[in-house]
Each structure stands twice: as structure tokens, then as C-alpha cells.
């Protein structure tokens, strides 16, 4: 199974690094969508089937917390797994986001191995297939 992935980060560098890391980790992907903020991401989610979303917290226009809250309000977060990829180190905030339905959290900077382990756990997609 190949995943349709949405990467949400205002840094084009981070989006590129995540794409590169997915390739290095041999995570099978189909479409890889990109968005620079939560507002753009919600538009992508409204128009496309997405299997997995990577979201930064600190973004202009609409940050990751607001985006997660909108996805929770719409019930979307129950069907589309969300992984927070952020510099956030506050357990308080991470627990708050998990209570809203976020599936997992990866702290920057991350390794291909840590990303691979979390994606396999969340999606059930094995990279060894």
C-alpha cells in the first residue's frame, strides 16, 4: 500500500527534508501534497484523499494547533492520522494535542529511523513489503 501524504510546514526546507526522509526510510508514497500553513492544508484535505498528515505547530496564517482543532471539529482527525513534526518540547502542549486526536509527535531534528518507526506504527504500512 502506498500512502497519500500531506506535509504542512511554512519552511520549504523542512517540507523537502521530510520528503527526502520518507524516501530514505523507504516509506511507500503515492501523492505527496504540500502546504505552507493550516489554511492551505485544510483546502488540500477538502479536495483530496490523504492517508497521513505531517503538521508543524509554529506557522503563519493558521498554525498547527488551530488546524488540528478544525480537523477535530469536523471529525476529520478520526479518519486521517496526524503526526506533529515540531520543535515543541512542552509535554503539556503535546498531551493537549493528543487529546484532540493527534496520533503522534516527532521532535525536530529527527532521524529517518524515528520517522519510519512512527509512520509504521500509525499507518500499519510496513516498509519491508
Partner 1 sequence: MSDKLEILLENYTDIMEKMAFMFVEEADDDEIPEDVENTIKVHMSFSGEKTGNIALFVPREIATELAANVLGVELDDPNIEQMGLDSIKESLNVTLGNLLTAFYGEEPVFDLSVPAVDDVDSGEWQKEIKDDNTLKILIDDTPAMIKFTDQ
Site residues for partner 1 per CB under 8 A: 10-14, 16-17, 20, 58-60, 86-93, 107-109
Give CA–CA dist 88/90, Å, rounded: 6
Q: How far is the CB of 10 from partner 1 (least distance, A)?
A: 7
Cis amide leading into 109 (omega within 30): yes
| Cβ nearer to partner 1, comparing 51 with 88 | 88
| Cβ nearer to partner 1, comparing 37 with 103 | 37
User: How is residue 96 annotated by DSSP?
Assistant: H
Give CA–CA dist 39/67, Å, rounded: 7
| Cβ nearer to partner 1, comparing 46 with 89 | 89
Amino acid at each position: 500500500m502506498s500512502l497519500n501524504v500531506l506535509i504542512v510546514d511554512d519552511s520549504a526546507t523542512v517540507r523537502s527534508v521530510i520528503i527526502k526522509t520518507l524516501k530514505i526510510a523507504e516509506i511507500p508514497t503515492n501523492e505527496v501534497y504540500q502546504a505552507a500553513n493550516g489554511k492551505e492544508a485544510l483546502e488540500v484535505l477538502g479536495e483530496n484523499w490523504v492517508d497521513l498528515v505531517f503538521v508543524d505547530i509554529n506557522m503563519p496564517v493558521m498554525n498547527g494547533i488551530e488546524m488540528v482543532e478544525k480537523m477535530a471539529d469536523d471529525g476529520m482527525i478520526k479518519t486521517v492520522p496526524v503526526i506533529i513534526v515540531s520543535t515543541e518540547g512542552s509535554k503539556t502542549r503535546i498531551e493537549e494535542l493528543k487529546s484532540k486526536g493527534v496520533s503522534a509527535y516527532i521532535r525536530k531534528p529527527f532521524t529517518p529511523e524515528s520517522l519510519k518507526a512512527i509512520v509504521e506504527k500509525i499507518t500499519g504500512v510496513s516498509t519491508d513489503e
